[in-house]
A and B are shown apart, each in its own frame.
Chain A
Amino acid sequence: MRILALGVVAVLLAGCGGAGESGDSAAGVRNETAGVTDTSVLIGTHQPLTGPAAPGYATISKGAQAVYSYVNDGGGIHGRKIDYRVEDDGYNPTRTVEVVKKLVLQDKVFALVGGLGTPTHSKVVDFLTAEGVPDVLVSSGALAWDDPQGSPMTFGFQVDYTREAKILGTHIAEAMPGRKVGVLHQNDDVGRDGMAGLDRVIKDAIVSRQPYDPANADVLPQLTALRQSGAEVVVCECVPAFTALAILTAARLGYKPQFVVSSIGADVTTLTGLLADFGKRAGAEVSVPALLSGMVGAGYLPDVDSDDPWTTLFKEIHAKYIPDVALTDTVVFGMAQAYTFAQALKEAGRDLTRSKLLAAFESGKLEGPGMTPFAFSGESHAGYTGAYVFTVDSEVRTNVVREPMVTDRGDGPVTPAPSSRKTPAEVALVG
């Protein structure tokens, strides 16, 4: 018994401090050149490659890898080849923490690039801050990444859900005045932050808010409720599979609202693939053109259909490195993200350090694939600051109806974005 008592006392003594009281947090970069050699730089990411979230996201890292291969074949950045290590976390936060600790403590990556997901990535930001590891271009539109004081290592990438919803709300208010609006939203920050943006602009027009759970593919109850509320416009703060489910379910109910879809769910190539088979058996009224034409969507990266110079480059890379993977917005997302990171590496200079990488991000010199500027500066770590609005025509081609707009995440106005941006030739990443 005495030994037991001793053991207990030892444990008690061990944990005498409050578990939730934070010690002195030594924020700041550590191990400046971890993962860097003269000929290579090692970076890592966590992605859902398997499991329930893999559909829709698993191709991001394929697009990113294609760009890194392209850069490496062109001689790398300042002579360094980019070694991109993708860890599968299955969208499970526990595994995210494990694989990120592995990347940082064991593999000793230089930076974490494009870690995917809010529930997952939010659990490693504090760790990366404490370890002084750059955590750039997070693949999530949550607002949390923009906190230069609390998490100085972390930078966002895609336009946040609030900014984007403000722009979509503005479009609804101006192009569809007086119409009743319903919202179908994912029951997490995608939906919550998105609704916050809508509420800033068109709160009074919203007649119904229906959450869906990504684990439950039956959205019939939600669409039934939206129809009953009399909503003429349905804003979909959804991932692509649920945009497609919502459109199909509306068709099933004979309900024909105007769909307005946030950028994460408005990937027309993916939607076309998902909806392709239904017209064949149920007639032309549910063919892809019939289902998608008129849909309004938001985007912040160049459209796959456009003749934007960036699209041309991405198509070349796609054809050379990953011809078997369909060129969707998701793949373009991975490509744009990888390109932006490579650009930051170049900007950081030949003597690469973590501090120089962070400085490159905060320099405000990164311009590129996206249609609106990054907010990156010493004061803001938010990614793209706005989006454009498009509609889908009867041939399932996208047409921009509202040129790129920018705004903030608060009550600021929605204004046109600067019209000029660098082309791939001007960035001159390789060659």
Chain B
Amino acid sequence: MPDLLTLAMGGLTNGAVYAALGLALVIIFRATRVVNFAQPALALVCAYLAFTVNRATGGYWLGLLVALVAGAVLGALTERLLIRPLRSRGNELAPVIVTLGLLLVLQAVCGMIWSAEPRSFPYAFDFRGAFSPASVFVVVTVVVVAGAVLLLFGATPLGLRLRAAALRPDVAGLLGVRVGLMLTIGWVLAAVVGALAGVLAAPPFLSPTVLDTVFVYALTAAVIGGLDNPVGTILGGFVLGVALSFVSGLLGPELVTLAALAVLVLVLSLRPHGLFGSSVARRV
């Protein structure tokens, strides 16, 4: 009998990372109706910066802080320089390709600076034990951050403006909301969450393509949960993490990607907008 508890706990930690990166995707999707394919690369740059700071200082927390700040800057730059020019175009494909291009560029830049060799990246705390301090830190951080993001959106004036700018930019603009600024803030917020996800996902080893798989599962989680629903996405991330850990442990690791596909097909054939997504087609 396999050790189900260990598998579940391992899956929960993986799932937390999928949830965090998925949350970043959802925030951007809600703000600008764009699936940000550059998300793993933005997070990667931040994780590498954290790595460099860690190496220089021997600590962990300053690196994390630098990563979050870098995430904010990168998010703002991406929105202003690459996404905003596409807003008026109403073309679904253009932002997909631009963010893909950014993914390639940023991954390449990381490879140029830090080489393709894997770099060891520390955990925040002791990683030993089925539910180690490091795992607890990951799960708790993601849950707390997700809660904070939900609060921000649901219960603050800024959140109201953010939602208004995303859903009804014309009306929001008439009512004095600075729509452009709100969209930038949405991207900044998402990129900071993404940077956090990157730093949490990086251990033990960091290399230029290490977050690609995480991104695929994060997108899967977001699609399962509903791309415009943060709660659904976070649940989706945790459920997917645990499910894939069980598949790997009980059926074989080669079936993990197929299992993700199966889950996705099953969910989408029942609910084309994810489990918790709103099915009203909104075109902005």
Contacts and interface: CB of A to CB of B under 8 A. Distances in A.
Interface residues of B, number: 45
Nearest to A213: B253
Contact of A254 (B115, B128, B257): B128
Contacts of B117: 55-56, 58-59
Contact of A282 (B1, B128, B130): B128
B202 to A, nearest CB: 11
A59 to B, nearest CB: 7
A278 B204 contact: yes
A281 B123 contact: yes
21 contacts: A50-B111, A56-B118, A58-B115, A212-B253, A218-B10, A218-B245, A224-B2, A224-B6, A224-B249, A228-B2, A244-B204, A248-B127, A251-B127, A252-B127, A274-B204, A278-B122, A280-B58, A281-B60, A281-B122, A281-B123, A282-B125
B10 A221 contact: yes
A49 interface: yes
Nearest to A281: B122
A116 to B, nearest CB: 13
Interface in A234-253: 241, 244-245, 248, 251-253
A215 interface: yes
Contact of A220 (B58, B129, B210, B245): B245
A227 B5 CA distance: 14
A49 B207 CA distance: 13
Interface string B203-244: 011011110110000000000000000000000000000000
Nearest to B133: A282
Contacts of B122: 277-278, 280-281
Contacts of B115: 58
Contacts of A251: 127-128
Interface in B35-63: 54, 58, 60
Interface of B: 1-3, 6-7, 10, 14, 54, 58, 60, 108, 111, 115-118, 120-130, 132, 134, 204-205, 207-210, 212-213, 245, 248-249, 252-254, 256-257
A278 B127 contact: yes
Given A212-B253, A216-B213, A220-B245, A252 B128 contact: yes
A251 B129 CA distance: 8
A56 B14 CA distance: 24
A284 to B, nearest CB: 12
B254 A187 contact: yes
Contacts of A224: 2-3, 6-7, 10, 249
A217 interface: yes
A275 interface: yes
A24 B248 CA distance: 47
A245 B245 CA distance: 16
Contacts, number: 124
Contacts of A277: 54, 120-122
B192 to A, nearest CB: 23
Q: Which of B3, B58, B118 has the most CB of A within 10 A?
A: B118
A241 B118 contact: yes
B256 A216 contact: yes
B3 A222 contact: no
Nearest to A285: B128
Contacts of B1: 228
A52 interface: yes
B253 A54 contact: no
A286 interface: yes
B253 A211 contact: yes
A245 B203 CA distance: 10
B204 A248 contact: yes
B243 to A, nearest CB: 12
B126 A283 contact: yes
A324 B239 CA distance: 44
Contact of A58 (B10, B116, B128, B129): B116
Contact of A215 (B126, B204, B213): B213
B143 to A, nearest CB: 21
Given A224-B6, A225-B2, A278 B245 contact: no
Contact of B210 (A217, A222, A244, A273): A217
A225 B253 CA distance: 12
B58 to A, nearest CB: 7
Interface string A48-74: 011110111011000000000000000
Given A220-B7, A282-B126, 8 more contacts: A218-B14, A220-B10, A225-B2, A228-B1, A241-B118, A273-B120, A276-B120, A283-B126
A115 B111 CA distance: 22
B239 to A, nearest CB: 16
Contacts of B2: 221, 224-225, 228
Nearest to A283: B126
A285 B126 CA distance: 10
A228 B127 contact: no
B116 A253 contact: no
Contact of B128 (A54, A216, A286): A286
Contacts of B249: 220-221, 224-225
Contacts of B204: 244-245, 248, 274, 278
A251 B60 CA distance: 21
Q: Which of A217, A228, A245, A283 has the most CB of B within 10 A?
A: A217
B53 to A, nearest CB: 13
A245 B129 CA distance: 15
Interface string A249-263: 001111000000000
A19 B126 CA distance: 59
